[in-house]
Structure 1
Amino acid sequence: MAARMQMALSLGWHIIIACFGVGMPAITVLAEWRGHRTGDANYALLARRWAKVMGVLFAVGAVSGTILSFEMGLLWPGLMGVYGQVIGLPFTLEGIAFFIEAIFLGIYLYAWDRLPPKVHMLTAIPVMIAGVASAFFVVTANAWMQQPTGFDMENGRVIAVDPWAAMFNPATPPQTVHMILAAFMVAGFGMASVYAVAMLRGRRDRYHRLGFLVPFAVAAVITPVQIGVGDWAAHFVADNQPVKLAAMEGIFETTEGAPLHLGGVVVDGEMRYALEVPHGLSLLAHFDPNAEVMGLNDVPEDERPPVNVVHLAFQAMVGCGFALLGLSLWLAVSWKRRRGPPESVWFWRAAALSGLLAVLALEAGWVVTEVGRQPWIVLGLLRTSEAVNPAPGLVYGFVLVAVVYAVLTVATVYVLRRLARGTPVPIAPQESDVKAYKVT
């Protein structure tokens, strides 16, 4: 349990920072491009400030990512010792992508006034590609744990390893696309929520307005696509991980025409207090209202995941996703009617919470993915209890890592707040103001 808690803390913390590394470069370059195209200095000021934030978050993410790389071997030697040769390729490729991202991010940050504008924007392209590639490679390793392929077993030994087949396993397409889109949503809504708070405080100038609209628009466009991809991922789970699906919906008896549960909690092996949609789960999972859905009672008790954790996390993920969709549609309707965001204070309050909702959806989705696979660390092949380091004292490592992440959190928030306060921004900056107030 100590190893699982430490891994959950490390992954849950790092994934938030990593999302900004995936989505923020594209949003920043979009603002820079709009500044060059329109001549509006507000875009340039936003791009310069966001670029500096990118540098801070990249450095912090490098620290948390390094911790994770050590934890894979220290906490789970049973996994890496047996299957390391199978899943080593994506981690190697992720390391290469990381170094490419670091090199070109440095060029992008320090070449604002040293390169022509178009050339400077081109230096961000490797940053964007490497950020997305890093997420892709890491998630393929996790997808392999959901659908292990690319090797044979002989007398308990791994043989005939095909690392490319392992990396491009059946779970890779839906899981990687779902994660990359989630990263853009976290980055977009997270950035926009900062400016939504400023708007609530009366800062209604063009700088803050654009600071909200650019990232929010990116995230809003992606949100309905993400919901469609989430449906794709759910169908994959229904076809390939029926135990996880049963836990997600709290289904204990194998049922034809299984209902969809909205809310609810499992008590004494029974779903209670849920709003049931008759035949809803069978229809959504298999496109057939009378399709059979396997129940948890068909699985040995020691091979079932903790149902309430998985079910409530799934409900939270879906609820947050549709809340963000509603908020995005609110902006779209307002923009169509009056070419501007809603004036309602409730919109801005909801927008201020959108970043937290996106993070909550992200974390809840990963809880479903990881806890829903338990008790297996490699589905059907290796139990988590068999992969963990048997050495005593792992709880002390968990406490130490928790302290490290607490310090990292405080330090990151402190530096970002200093950045926000340390760069004065004029109400309506002109081109000359860019040089006077630029982030250097």
Structure 2
Amino acid sequence: MTDLLYARAQMGLSLAFHIVFAAAGVALPVLMVISDWKARRTGDADYRLLSQKLAKGTAILFAVGAVSGTVLSFELGLLWPEFMGQYGEVIGLPFALEGVAFFTEAIFLGIYLYGRERVSPGLHLFSGVMVALSGAASAFFVTLVNVFMNDPSGFTPTAVGPMNIEPLAAMFSSGWKYQTVHVLISCYQASAFAMAGIHAFVLLKHPGSGFHRKALSVALPVACLTALLQPLVGDFLAKHTAKEQPVKLAAMEGHFDTERGAPLRLGGLPDVETATTPYALDIPKGLSILAFGDPDAEVRGLKEFPREDWPPVAKVHVSFQVMVGAGSAMALLSVVTLLLRWRKREWPASRWMMRAWLWASPLGLLALEAGWLVTEWGRQPWILHGVMRTAEAVTPVPHLAAPFWTFTLVYLFLGVVVTFLLARQVAGTLPGREADDAH
């Protein structure tokens, strides 16, 4: 591979690794606070134990997320010096605010972890709420940087660099509302589905475990709510993409020819040589309706744009299909679960429902990773859309294969360690060990 590809691969690997822990770090505090609130309201020891376990999990994931996030911040400067050198001052504000949110989260997480019996119950619960809010704020500010890279604003590009810089306008680029909400919901959704799957797995083996039934009652409302909200937010984001980044939308849909009443393509594998998408199921006028709300609206195809400006069409299309497919499956399962909850007045606990939630547990993370691939691949070949190409921003330092393989090994090691630590937290809640853990 070329050094450019190694740089992109290293950044992609770092993001793929970090996003899992960042998402859990955003969502677990919410589940932790819900469990803590239920424990205080009911006096139930199981909810108290659950909040303690979630707090320990949050601390583990916070530590790993901090390390991987720090690596990413260094990689931005070391791998892409031209981008950071020219545009760092334009988009520096959300980076600074993310740092404030990070330190706030660390402070209140320390209070929550070590102040359970040392501060008042109200202050302890408040510290948990602040951990949840700070985690969300951190993800919010980081996402604003990505929004800027996809839709730059707040400056005037010139031959000598950006001029007339407006930091607030750059931070709140067009579409920031849709992408930030989309990202935050995906964090809660992925984590809640993963948590539901873990407890469903235990309940299949130990159906009488009260602790795991209560844990499921915390995870399922969050999972169902986010699974149903996400398609709505995604629709707004897709409409914005159709307007502001039509070439990305065309790649997402495998859409080559400009046409009115454009069909929505399900599946298929785009072929850029023949400018077709074989094996796709076309829904007549579906894309025009979803993108513009008009069955006869014109949708621009890839052929409208210079070939050198096309993203990797097949990768973007397949990633988008994976994201939509996983999201649709989660929404369907959530509808069934809520219907059963409404009919029986309690969360369903049948074996077939537990199996369904177990099988669905990785779908949130799968959709999360696929969605980020759509965002990042869909922006190529630009690091700053329409302003600076990725090839122009990469470091001139050679031999980038060495750090790529080094960080790959480091991430593998960290992944194994974190999996082991989290598995121990779950093992401590198995029937027969819950009482010991409570002490």
TM-score, L = length of structure 1: 0.95
Distance in 2 between residues matched to 1:258 and 1:423, nearest whole Å: 53
Q: Superposition pairs for residues 358-397 of structure 1, below 5 Å?
A: 358-397=364-403
Aligned to 1:294: 300
Q: Does the 8 Å CA contact 2:206/2:431 hold for their aligned counterparts?
A: no
For structure 2, the residue ranges without an aligned partner over 5 or more in a row are none
SS at match of 1:153: strand
Q: Over aligned residues, Cα RMSD in angstroms?
A: 1.5
Aligned to 1:407: 413
Deviation at 1:333, TM superposition (A): 1.3
Task: Specify the code of the residue in structure 1 equivalent to 2:409.
Answer: V
Aligned to 1:188: 192
Aligned to 1:340: 346
Distance in 2 between residues matched to 1:388 and 1:405, nearest whole Å: 22
Task: Specify the code of the residue in structure 2 equivalent to 1:33.
Answer: W
Aligned to 1:282: 288
Q: Superposition pairs for residues 22-37 of structure 1, below 5 Å?
A: 22-37=26-41
SS at match of 1:264: coil
Task: Specify the code of the residue in structure 2 equivalent to 1:99.
Answer: F
Task: Specify the code of the residue in structure 2 equivalent to 1:274.
Answer: A
Aligned to 1:438: 438
Residue 363 (structure 2) pairs with residue 357 (structure 1): yes
Deviation at 1:426, TM superposition (A): 5.1
**The 10-residue stretch of structure 1 (217-226 or 356-365) with the greater mean CA deviation from structure 2:** 217-226
Deviation at 1:284, TM superposition (A): 0.9
Residue 123 (structure 2) pairs with residue 119 (structure 1): yes
Pairing partner for 2:225 from 221, 228, 233: 221
Distance in 2 between residues matched to 1:355 and 1:14, nearest whole Å: 19
Aligned to 1:230: 234
Pairing partner for 2:326 from 320, 327, 339: 320
Deviation at 1:187, TM superposition (A): 1.6
Count of residues in correspondence between the two structures: 433
SS at match of 1:158: strand
**The 10-residue stretch of structure 1 (233-242 or 198-207) with the greater mean CA deviation from structure 2:** 198-207
Task: Specify the code of the residue in structure 2 equivalent to 1:406.
Answer: L
Q: Does the 8 Å CA contact 1:143/1:175 hold for their aligned counterparts?
A: yes
Distance in 1 between residues matched to 2:239 and 2:163, nearest whole Å: 31
Deviation at 1:420, TM superposition (A): 2.8
SS at match of 2:262: coil
Pairing partner for 1:154 from 133, 154, 158: 158
Aligned to 2:69: 65
Aligned to 2:55: 51
SS at match of 1:234: helix
Deviation at 1:339, TM superposition (A): 2.4
Q: Does the 8 Å CA contact 2:189/2:223 hold for their aligned counterparts?
A: yes
Q: 1:333 to 1:438 in 2, by over 3 A?
A: same
Q: 1:158 to 1:143 in 2, by over 3 A?
A: same
Distance in 2 between residues matched to 1:24 and 1:88, nearest whole Å: 28
Deviation at 1:424, TM superposition (A): 6.4
Q: Does the 8 Å CA contact 1:146/1:171 hold for their aligned counterparts?
A: no
Q: Does the 8 Å CA contact 2:21/2:61 hold for their aligned counterparts?
A: yes
TM-score, L = length of structure 2: 0.96
Aligned to 2:82: 78
**The 10-residue stretch of structure 1 (109-118 or 314-323) with the greater mean CA deviation from structure 2:** 109-118
Distance in 2 between residues matched to 1:273 and 1:203, nearest whole Å: 43
Deviation at 1:242, TM superposition (A): 0.4
Aligned to 2:148: 144
Q: Does the 8 Å CA contact 1:425/1:437 hold for their aligned counterparts?
A: no
Distance in 1 between residues matched to 2:430 and 2:181, nearest whole Å: 38
SS at match of 2:296: coil
Q: Does the 8 Å CA contact 1:140/1:172 hold for their aligned counterparts?
A: yes
Q: Could you report, residue by residue, the CA deviation over 1:100-144 in whole angstroms, capped at 9, with x for unpaired residues?
A: 100110110001111222221011122111101100100000100
Q: Does the 8 Å CA contact 1:327/1:347 hold for their aligned counterparts?
A: no
Residue 245 (structure 2) pairs with residue 241 (structure 1): yes
Q: Does the 8 Å CA contact 1:144/1:171 hold for their aligned counterparts?
A: no
Task: Specify the code of the residue in structure 1 equivalent to 2:438.
Answer: K
Deviation at 1:31, TM superposition (A): 0.7
Task: Specify the code of the residue in structure 1 equivalent to 2:60.
Answer: V
Task: Specify the code of the residue in structure 1 equivalent to 2:35.
Answer: A
Task: Specify the code of the residue in structure 1 equivalent to 2:65.
Answer: G
Distance in 2 between residues matched to 1:180 and 1:125, nearest whole Å: 16
Q: 1:424 to 1:341 in 2, by over 3 A?
A: closer
Distance in 2 between residues matched to 1:366 and 1:41, nearest whole Å: 39
Q: Could you report, residue by residue, the CA deviation over 1:125-178 in whole angstroms, capped at 9, with x for unpaired residues?
A: 221111011001000001001111111233332222111110011021111010
Aligned to 1:4: 8
Q: Could you report, residue by residue, the CA deviation over 1:408-436 in whole angstroms, capped at 9, with x for unpaired residues?
A: 00111111222333466658x7xxx5xx6
Distance in 2 between residues matched to 1:158 and 1:302, nearest whole Å: 24
Task: Specify the code of the residue in structure 2 equivalent to 1:345.
Answer: R
Distance in 1 between residues matched to 2:82 and 2:424, nearest whole Å: 44
Distance in 2 between residues matched to 1:199 and 1:420, nearest whole Å: 13
Q: Does the 8 Å CA contact 1:265/1:312 hold for their aligned counterparts?
A: yes
Distance in 2 between residues matched to 1:390 and 1:170, nearest whole Å: 32
Distance in 2 between residues matched to 1:371 and 1:47, nearest whole Å: 38
Q: Does the 8 Å CA contact 1:31/1:47 hold for their aligned counterparts?
A: yes
Deviation at 1:345, TM superposition (A): 2.9
Task: Specify the code of the residue in structure 1 equivalent to 2:373.
Answer: V
Q: Could you report, residue by residue, the CA deviation over 1:254-292 in whole angstroms, capped at 9, with x for unpaired residues?
A: 111100001111133211111111111001111111111
SS at match of 1:261: strand
Aligned structure 1 segments of 4 or more residues deviating by more than 6 angstroms: none
Deviation at 1:204, TM superposition (A): 3.0
Task: Specify the code of the residue in structure 2 equivalent to 1:145.
Answer: M
Distance in 2 between residues matched to 1:346 and 1:236, nearest whole Å: 39
Task: Specify the code of the residue in structure 1 equivalent to 2:187.
Answer: A
Distance in 1 between residues matched to 2:251 and 2:429, nearest whole Å: 49
